[in-house]
Amino acid sequence: MVLLSILSIPFIAAIILLFVKQNEKANYIAIASSGITLALALNIAFNGAANFDASWISSINARFVLTADGLSKILLLLTGISFPAIFMTTSKNEIKNRAQFLSLMLFTQTGLLGVFLAGDALLFYFFWELALIPVYFLCSIWGGEKRIAVTFKFFIYTFLGSLFMLIGIILVYTHTADQSFAIQSFKQASLSAGQQLTAFALFFTAFAIKMPIFPLHTWQPDAYEQSPTAVTMVLSAVMVKMGLYGVMRWLMPLFPNAFSAHSNFVVILSVIGILYASFIAIRQDDMKRLIAYSSIAHIGLMSAALFANNEIGAQGVLIQLFSHGVNVLGLWIIADIIEQQTGTRSLKEMGGLAKQNPTLGILLVGFAFANIALPLTNAFVGEFLMFNSLFQFKPWIAAAAGVSVVLAAIYTLNMVQKCAYGEVSEKMSKMQAPNVPAQFVLIVLLIVVIISGVYPAPLFDLTADTLQQLFIK
């Protein structure tokens, strides 16, 4: 039941928000609902939760099954943390029709939680799409200047991808022994080698677009830049994880042969993507775009490690799913605070943040270190494991991907240097101390970064069962 309630709380709050007019009240409702969701997520993560299973469409044997294993739990935690953080830090931003905005955000959260909990393929597809629709409206209504065209591109891209996945689902479904959408039946579906390959390709397209893997990434930087920052945070901290989640939940267990047969191909694409995104990030002057490209590079590393198809890589990805989300969230929040107060995202016009506002300067440096995966930060744990796995896979691939660490140091430190150090620029002199909730959120996130960097054992324990299912037959 707790699984059902974590799904229904944001949904009910979203519906209530449709009828709320005052901004203040809307903020309280959104923060309260996302706070309860976080509490429930923590409860599920550390106490476990029984599966929820109800009849849905009996004539085609689709059931409403919610289930939470380590993989789901870690993403529930990430979703749980992200939304209150986003709501609290952006609560003073100027957004017209705030109640509707928050309502759509909570619908998105419902969709995301549903994706991470669904234990039935049709239900999974259902939530997969549901997470997309509110984002389409969020970006198109509240986004930047080119929002309509950019969001539409994003929408068509991902919609087409998910339709391909739908064919894949139908294909596997018709070959299950008991004609059901349950994940267990899907795992035992009797597919010929050719069918497995087709189904693999169909599922992979959807996940590759969502992650995104080079060369299907073209929607992403534009979408990140044009979306309102609160939405960008959701997109890059949580939503891209849907693709990785899909790979681990569906692609790896369902089509093991096709998966290992194509690991080379996908790993190489991912590594190209890593380097490509890193080089572009170095050239960026726009802080938002820089973080966007850095995020693409990090996701690329995760997909490479995942497709290397060994246990250590999967372990690294499981940890990094959470860590990357927290780190990138911290960076976005800081970028948003700077943009809100100084009105610029251009690194050229920044400088002297550390002098003007030491607290924010320190926080920026902290998250920047995490972005480079320095030891003692959370990302170090995950990235170390992932590089280890790539080395086991093919040493030269690990070497190529390893270049990205250097590149990450270049663009991240470059950003820190231009933003935090030097003379206080004209724009930066307008910078005030961020409001208390924002500071509170950032400090909490930084504590999470450091604790999970120094003592990652709870995260390992949390994900042990998923790893066992994936690699011990």
3-state class percentages of the chain: helix first, strand second, coil last, to nearest 5: 80, 5, 20
Question: Which string of DSSP letters, residue by residue, matches 248-278?
Answer: IIIIHHH-HHHHHHTHHHHHHHHHHHHHHHH
The reply on whether position 203 binds other proteins by CB under 8 A is: no
> What minimum distance in Å lies between the beta carbon of 354 and other proteins?
40
Give me the torsion for CA of 185, 191, 193, 198, rounded to 10°. -90
| Residue from the set 15, 51, 144, 160 that interacts with other proteins by CB under 8 A | 160
| Residue from the set 51, 174, 257, 432 that interacts with other proteins by CB under 8 A | 174
CA distances from 350 to 285, 338, 442, 449, 459 (A): 10, 9, 20, 26, 37
The reply on whether position 153 binds other proteins by CB under 8 A is: no
CA separation for the pair 447, 333 (Å, rounded)? 15
Question: Which string of DSSP letters, residue by residue, matches 181-205?
Answer: -BHHHHHT----HHHHHHHHHHHHH
Task: Give the number of other CB atoms < 10 A from CB of residue 454.
Answer: 13
The reply on whether position 125 binds other proteins by CB under 8 A is: yes
Structure tokens at 11: 């949904």
415's CB contacts (< 8 A; 6+ apart) are: 287, 290, 347, 368
Identify residues 303-332 at the interface with other proteins (CB under 8 A): none
| Residue from the set 15, 50, 156, 399 that interacts with other proteins by CB under 8 A | 156
Q: Which of residues 173 and 391 has its CB atom nearest to other proteins in the complex?
A: 173
| Residue from the set 4, 16, 166, 424 that interacts with other proteins by CB under 8 A | 166
Name the amino acid, one letter, at 278.
S
The reply on whether position 155 binds other proteins by CB under 8 A is: yes
Q: Which of residues 222 and 383 has its CB atom nearest to other proteins in the complex?
A: 222
| Residue from the set 15, 50, 57, 399 that interacts with other proteins by CB under 8 A | 57
| Residue from the set 163, 197, 261, 374 that interacts with other proteins by CB under 8 A | 163
What is the SS3 assignment for 444?
A: helix
> What minimum distance in Å lies between the beta carbon of 195 and other proteins?
9
Structure tokens at 200: 């693999």
> What minimum distance in Å lies between the beta carbon of 257 and other proteins?
19
CA distances from 101 to 8, 213, 288, 465 (A): 18, 30, 21, 37
Q: Which of residues 50 and 160 has its CB atom nearest to other proteins in the complex?
A: 160
DSSP one-letter code for 238: I
The reply on whether position 137 binds other proteins by CB under 8 A is: yes
- Tell me the per-residue interface mask from 341 to 380 with other proteins, x by CB under 8 A, - otherwise: ----------------------------------------
Q: Which of 228, 8, 246, 236 is nearest to 106 (CA)?
A: 8
> What minimum distance in Å lies between the beta carbon of 75 and other proteins?
20
CA separation for the pair 85, 26 (Å, rounded)? 16
Q: Which of residues 155 and 367 has its CB atom nearest to other proteins in the complex?
A: 155
| Residue from the set 4, 36, 167, 268 that interacts with other proteins by CB under 8 A | 167
The reply on whether position 190 binds other proteins by CB under 8 A is: no
Q: Considering only the stretches 53-61, 184-192, 283-291, 464-472, report the one whose residues sit in contact with other proteins under the rule CB under 8 A.
A: 53-61
Identify residues 223-252 at the interface with other proteins (CB under 8 A): none
The reply on whether position 36 binds other proteins by CB under 8 A is: no
| Residue from the set 33, 79, 185, 198 that interacts with other proteins by CB under 8 A | 198
Structure tokens at 440: 């509170």
The reply on whether position 129 binds other proteins by CB under 8 A is: yes
Name the amino acid, one letter, at 205.
T
Question: Which string of DSSP letters, residue by residue, matches 55-80?
Answer: EEEGGGTEEEEE---HHHHHHHHHHH
> What minimum distance in Å lies between the beta carbon of 97 and other proteins?
10
Contact status, residue 362 vs residue 421, Cβ threshold 8 Å: no
The reply on whether position 116 binds other proteins by CB under 8 A is: no
Task: Catalog residues that contact other proteins under the rule CB under 8 A.
Answer: 56-60, 122, 125-126, 129-130, 133, 137, 140-141, 147-148, 152, 155-156, 159-160, 163-164, 166-167, 170-171, 173-174, 198
